[in-house]
Structure 1
Amino acid sequence: MSTSFDHTVVPLDQLLAEFGEQVVTPDDPRYDEMRAVYPGQFDRRPAVIVRPKDAAQVARVVTIARENGCELAVRGGGHSNAAHGVIDGGLVLDLRDMRELDIDVEGRTAWAQGGMSAGEYTHAVVAHGLVTGFGDTGSVGLGGLTTGGGVGYLVRKHGLTIDDLLAAEVVTADGQILHTDADTHPDLFWAIRGGGGNFGVVTRLKFRLHELESIYGGILILPATAETIEAFVTQAEAAPEELSTIANIMPAPPMPFLAPEHHGSLVIMAMMVFAGPQEDGERVLAPFRAIAAPLADMVQQMPYSGVYPPEDPGFHPVASSLTMFADRIDRQAAETIVKRLTSSTASMAATQLRVLGGAMARVPVDATAFAHRKSRIMVNLAAIYENPQDAPVHDAWVAEFADELRQSDHGAYVNFLADEGEERIRAAYPGATWDRLRAVKTTYDPTNFFHLNQNIPPLP
């Protein structure tokens, strides 16, 4: 059974009567800003946008949409590579006004509304010497990031974001507001830790907080050759769990802290985060600095919030991308990366490497819906370009690049998937994980009302 939707019939009068100025229509001066999402290739025009303030209002919007057969998109931070947070026609449920945060400093927990961004949360809790690990971008919404897993700068020290999720408030397709944790609706709690937005709107999240007064971290730029790429990954795998790295291999942009003669040359631009004191961090980073003479070294002691610098709100890149896992980055794989990056015709081509393991890998594979605990290295490939009509060229480049790099791990990270079809969604949820998620979907959303996501259909 599935729900039928009509893009042309939207209960605008009812929404205006109940939500007033929280409703944004195409003739509203806020409309274009509200419908914009991070990926620049999407220009979708919803019939109406509603900005609720709490779970009760979310439940009401969900109920109105369902009862009227109106298609619903749920927007958190707007970073979905498939632009699932916006739709042509239909109704957008925009969580951006739901950003309340309640910190229990003594109990080391925090309740955050689902529309809050990772950066806002981090800057607030770090004032108390506390942290929760999220992803690599501060403007990403907490709800979408967390329900997909959360792979960031503390992944080796504290695991995925979902490993610090203690409870959640979820609005389901029938308009109920459910509290879920390990003891209450445990099947739903299992599913929202990795299963994405398939099971409802996550309106509040309770996170564990860790003590961390400061980090030794920042950007380290090395020249990129097959030798230095292989050496970097080898050192990242051998480093203690306090160190997490995200290395972007790319032509160097014209950054002010990089000498002009290096602009455009292939570099490893790595974000290094050592969750500990500077003295220990310097010792751990010494082997990386010995790989080659750094072209720029901005690693220093700083608050953890420094990993989320200010972002340009007008940056909306048009890109082809693909996410995958690798067992190793040996010399052959490193040579492939160099060859492919130097052959791209995109305005910017990049390979991102995230060495995993540590705390993330110690959680049992079936403990959450994130099924890639044993994956060793996350690889993200991207080509950023100017003309959307050039998409087929860059899509083919990314696909061929991935085929050349692919090893025995055929998994995918759901938060970085674009609109790539069911086979790729199944790669994010292999084997028994897929079957279990479909069963939970059938319980909480039997008509697939929440389908604008990396969709897990209910059982027939």
Structure 2
Amino acid sequence: MRIFGSFLATGLLLLQSLSSASPLACPDSIDCSFTRADVSPAQVARELGRKLSRAVLIYGPGDSRYTEAIARYQQYNPPNIQIVVQPGTEEDVAEIVKYANKNSIPFLTVNRGHSLISTLNRFRGLQIDMASLRAITINSGGKTAWLQGGAYGQEVIDTLWARGYVATTGSCACVGILGPGLGGGYGRYQGLHGLVSDNFVTLRVVLADGTRTTVSQRTNPDLFWAMKGAGHNFGIVTSVELQIHPRNLSTWYYKNYFWTGDKLERVIEQVNRLSNNGTGPVQMALQSGTYLMDPTISTTEAVVAWSFGWSGAQRDAARYLAPFDAIPAVRVQDGNIPYTQIPQAQGSGVDDPLCATGFSHQHGHAGLWQWNAKTQRAIYDLFNRNIQARPAFNTSLVLLEAYALQGVKAVNPSTSSFPWRNAFNVMGVISVNYRPDPSLDAAAFRWRTQTRDLWRADQPGTKPLTYVNYAYGDESLESIYGDSLPRLRRLKAKYDPHGRFSYYNAIPAGK
């Protein structure tokens, strides 16, 4: 089903050896730091492969699998991956980390490659690709399930739904469970069950030194706190025990509207009323607005599209959507469908543009209390001017997200490092999208910054607030981690003093 989405159009350098003689392997009894400057993928396979399971894969740029393995959603400033190691078991991950540390090889763990951050070009080294670790096991009693570190949204949704369960996942079906979850994890079921990280029960983690450990409220509770909001900085989660919930519904209802730009103010007024400062109906799981170009409607200005996902029956949603029905739309789509199809219906399915690889994205983000119609008009007009000036930007988007918040705000903020539980109600994202072209980077960044600054100006006297999974890389750490930052810095010194996990909104060690 292609519905809404069809319109959402340091370390050591790992170098191939230049001589016929290979460098000597590093004996286990010797620390070979800064000695392996010419280690090749083939040699890593020989040295490391013998310590790993038979299912492991190790290859480099000369392999036919390499291009697909390093494909990313964010192609602006990508990491420089010299070697790919795909563990076949959870135990393999620890051995890979130990080997990389012994040989001073930086490592970066990748699940689905959907991070937005623009600073990964600082990385050059070995990619730990979690693609083979995707097992999903429902525990007896049906209260929790074990998900391996490579599991992603759509397969978790499909597997659990077929067994009569649901779980908190990110809103994009293509992203991993743990990518969003380690940063908190916004998603459609959060109004009922909280953030993805609020549903963590137990984590199996490989620490920076290659140690395997269990993390939960009872075991390593300080690290458990850190992993629920800033987990990318502290370890590799090889599997997570996640709370699951009876699905209780056979279908969800969705409704997508497409309006011309002259309706913008009326739409914003009704959206704010529906959200009601974060207290709107819990069944309105996600309402997502988008400014985008749709040449079937207009070639000169953006369409204002809005998608509503309702966890329940159409008849119950009708009274909340009646004000939007009263605003004349160019096109309306709706339906009662299983939850497994809702991501695609709302434009965030695995085959939709929000999941496509190979584009540069200059994006900016702001957390806000509500939408300001005057500001949204300015952002809309800015969007149109930039598209007209540079048609190469014509797949760009402005996203306006509002999730149900009751389940998030019901959780005690002290239980996790996620800092923004009660700080904002809606989120704005500008994503300037284009095929990689350095000549366009400056203009794209300027547009992105202007849009973000318009949102920030809406809240005078309030410090900028950034959801870590939407961060670009130029935000302050205080705007990302809030009041949790001092404690996170102390825990960084305890668990990762040498900064092995420092490529994603890195937290420096501190006292």
With the length of structure 1 as denominator, give the TM-score of the two structures.
Answer: 0.90
Cα distance, 1:162 vs structure 2: 1.1
Q: Percent identity?
A: 25
Of the candidates 440, 454, 459, which is equivalent to residue 390 of structure 1? 440
Of the candidates 227, 233, 239, which is equivalent to residue 266 of structure 2? 227
Specify whether residues 248 and 452 from structure 1 end up closer, same or farther in structure 2 by C-alpha distance, changes over 3 A only: same
> What is the correspondence of 1:334-373 to structure 2 with a 5 Å cutoff?
334-345=376-387, 346-356=393-403, 357-373=405-421
Residue 49 (str. 1) matches residue 84 (str. 2): yes
Aligned to 1:280: 316
The 1-side partners of 2:11 and 2:47 are apart by 18
Specify whether residues 164 and 215 from structure 1 end up closer, same or farther in structure 2 by C-alpha distance, changes over 3 A only: farther
SS of 1:301's partner is strand
- Which amino acid in 2 is paired with 1:361? K
The 1-side partners of 2:311 and 2:61 are apart by 46
> What is the correspondence of 1:2-41 to structure 2 with a 5 Å cutoff?
4-8=10-14, 9=37, 10=39, 12=44, 13-19=46-52, 22-41=57-76
The 2-side partners of 1:132 and 1:159 are apart by 10
**CA offsets 1:8-40 (integer angstroms, 9 cap, x no match):** 434613124434761012221111111111113
Cα distance, 1:368 vs structure 2: 0.9
Aligned to 1:268: 304
Specify whether residues 230 and 318 from structure 1 end up closer, same or farther in structure 2 by C-alpha distance, changes over 3 A only: farther
The 2-side partners of 1:23 and 1:298 are apart by 46
Aligned to 2:496: 445
SS of 1:46's partner is strand
**Contact 1:80–1:418 (CA under 8 A) maintained in structure 2:** no
Aligned to 1:245: 286
Specify whether residues 384 and 459 from structure 1 end up closer, same or farther in structure 2 by C-alpha distance, changes over 3 A only: same
Cα distance, 1:145 vs structure 2: 1.4
SS of 2:127's partner is strand
Aligned to 1:257: none
The 2-side partners of 1:440 and 1:130 are apart by 35
Cα distance, 1:349 vs structure 2: 3.4
Specify whether residues 333 and 156 from structure 1 end up closer, same or farther in structure 2 by C-alpha distance, changes over 3 A only: farther
**Contact 1:147–1:197 (CA under 8 A) maintained in structure 2:** yes
- Which amino acid in 1 is paired with 2:150? G
- Which amino acid in 2 is paired with 1:233? N
SS of 2:324's partner is helix
**Contact 2:419–2:481 (CA under 8 A) maintained in structure 1:** yes
- Which amino acid in 1 is paired with 2:369? D
Cα distance, 1:92 vs structure 2: 0.7
Cα distance, 1:215 vs structure 2: 4.1
**Contact 2:367–2:427 (CA under 8 A) maintained in structure 1:** yes
- Which amino acid in 2 is paired with 1:400? Q
Cα distance, 1:105 vs structure 2: 6.7
- Which amino acid in 2 is paired with 1:198? N
Query: Which of the two has higher C-alpha Rg?
Result: 2
**Contact 1:325–1:412 (CA under 8 A) maintained in structure 2:** yes
**CA offsets 1:344-383 (integer angstroms, 9 cap, x no match):** 2332332212224322122233321110011111111121
Specify whether residues 52 and 214 from structure 1 end up closer, same or farther in structure 2 by C-alpha distance, changes over 3 A only: same
Cα distance, 1:403 vs structure 2: 1.4
SS of 2:229's partner is coil
- Further displaced range: 83-92 or 99-108: 83-92
**Contact 2:184–2:196 (CA under 8 A) maintained in structure 1:** yes
- Further displaced range: 357-366 or 77-86: 77-86
SS of 1:194's partner is helix
**CA offsets 1:278-297 (integer angstroms, 9 cap, x no match):** 3313333333323x133333
Aligned to 1:157: 192
Cα distance, 1:250 vs structure 2: 1.3
- Further displaced range: 120-129 or 304-313: 304-313
- Further displaced range: 269-278 or 202-211: 269-278
**CA offsets 1:179-200 (integer angstroms, 9 cap, x no match):** 1111111111111111031111
Unaligned runs of 5+ residues in structure 1 are: 255-259
Aligned to 2:368: 326
- Which amino acid in 1 is paired with 2:12? D
Aligned to 2:231: 196
Unaligned runs of 5+ residues in structure 2 are: 1-9, 15-36, 345-349, 388-392
- Further displaced range: 76-85 or 390-399: 76-85
Aligned to 2:464: 410
SS of 1:38's partner is coil
Cα distance, 1:265 vs structure 2: 4.5
Cα distance, 1:44 vs structure 2: 4.5
**CA offsets 1:89-140 (integer angstroms, 9 cap, x no match):** 4111111110000013732211100111111111110112321122221111
The 2-side partners of 1:100 and 1:170 are apart by 16
- Which amino acid in 2 is paired with 1:196? G
Residue 430 (str. 1) matches residue 477 (str. 2): no
The 2-side partners of 1:88 and 1:450 are apart by 11
Residue 456 (str. 1) matches residue 507 (str. 2): yes
- Further displaced range: 148-157 or 52-61: 148-157
Specify whether residues 317 and 37 from structure 1 end up closer, same or farther in structure 2 by C-alpha distance, changes over 3 A only: same
Residue 293 (str. 1) matches residue 299 (str. 2): no
Aligned to 1:135: 170
**Contact 2:165–2:244 (CA under 8 A) maintained in structure 1:** yes
Specify whether residues 219 and 311 from structure 1 end up closer, same or farther in structure 2 by C-alpha distance, changes over 3 A only: farther
- Further displaced range: 103-112 or 444-453: 103-112
RMSD: 2.3
- Which amino acid in 1 is paired with 2:106? E
Aligned to 1:106: 141
- Further displaced range: 165-174 or 266-275: 266-275
- Which amino acid in 1 is paired with 2:325? R
Cα distance, 1:232 vs structure 2: 2.0
